[in-house]
Structure 1
Amino acid sequence: MMGGKTVFGATLGILMLDTQFPRIPGDIGNALTWPFPVQYKVVRGVTPDDVVRGDATAFLNAFIEAGRELVAMGCDGITTNCGFLVGYQDQMAAALGVPVAVSSLLQVPMVQRTLPADQKVGILTISAETLTESHIAAAGIAPDTPVIGTGAGSEFTDRILNNDLEIDFVKAQADNIAAARKLVEAHPDIGAIVLECTNMVPYAADIRRATGRPVYSIYTYLVWFQAALMPRRFADGIDDTRF
């Protein structure tokens, strides 16, 4: 067995914004979410509001440096905890030298290919007002893809973007369900939903039940991503020298 790392067995590194709001299982920042070990690194001084409602360009180098620390620790793949960072996918992949899956939005073109020709993907986001054409283009998403947000004034959006110490998760659940229903009512041809926000994962099953559509998220994306970083071994005792 070769060395060269500090930590073994936790191949996925997650770059976290600097937050204080509570995170329940399902949220990317709750380690109980994951069926495999992960490593976290907080990018200090960068808040959800900075990235979702501001311009994160000034923080790109901070994300790259934090990503390099995770790679040095032993991570073979890197992600972030905000879908709005999708515009920095190429820069981060080039700088870190390992596979990078920066945003759940990168799934949208793949999910679209799974659907019948008369159906499309819909996107549920924490802030439709600031999910711009540049974000959509950076992910390779068709510009006419329907997008709806949980919206300013909702428990979910306001508590997270204001980085509050408390969240009413029952109200946040209702916000996500209501927004998803509005999305499919406005666009009945939606065949699947992709959740932009990594904090929406705890409500994915509720959204699926309320809309009847498959729901993709950062969880579905990273389980797929991790499956390549550490493929499952299906048989023991095979002579590895044959391969």
Structure 2
Amino acid sequence: MSAKATRAGRSTGGERTITLEISRFRPEQDSEPVFETFDVPLRDDWAVLDGLNHVKDQLDGTLSFRWSCRMGVCGSCGMTVNGKPRLTCGTFLTEFGAGPVRIEPLKGFPVIRDLVVEIDDFLAKLSHVKPWLIREGEELPLTTEYAQTPEQLEAYKQYSMCINCMLCYSACPVYVLNPDFLGPAAIALAQRYNLDSRDQGDRLDLLNTDEGVWGCTFVGECTSACPKHVDPAEAIQRYKVTAAMRSVLPWARR
């Protein structure tokens, strides 16, 4: 079912509209995704997510997609917008002129329904890199604190800003072709702990593999796609240097 479309960007009943071309996949009836078009109000303060919510609330309540905070914090609303992985809460309809705006699921992930993708593999990759502080031979009492200087915090701060939106995975040409690749967010997460002065762990054995850092071809799309200005490409290259140094100087750490 497609909503009746009017010309995008023109006034309809006194209000401008823009056309959304939305990928639909209902496994009980579709063998592959199809596109349906919906006209939504074109307002200066409306993001793509507002348009999707308008469709769901006013035009077709069966449309499925993820969202939560609407503030660029939760990472839930990542989708492919006109061919690029974007957070739909921070991508405004006015960016696309007269339209149309094509909205698809994030590339590289199995589609569950409409714009909702499977995330279990992504979460497993994050867990694989041991994303917690490792202290060797030490059990901490609940009152223990480890103070850091501003410089020590700054060393890993950018990597801690990741919101797990998966845009970097969808932008990564390696992951799209090879889902076994550990991926940019997971490697950046490992670097976040590797650079933390409180951590004593060694995660290089998890990353120094063909599916880890050596799978990266350094295109840099992951960094370009990140809405929080994390630099996964840098993290991967730094780990490659660490691995190379470790092979020459086996006793070297970090």
- The question of a shared fold, defined as TM-score above 0.5 by the shorter chain, is answered with no
Scaled to the shorter chain, the TM-score interval is under 0.3
Structure with higher helix content: 1
Structure of greater relative contact order (alpha carbons < 8 Å, 6+ residues apart): 1
Please identify the structure whose Cα radius of gyration is greater: 2
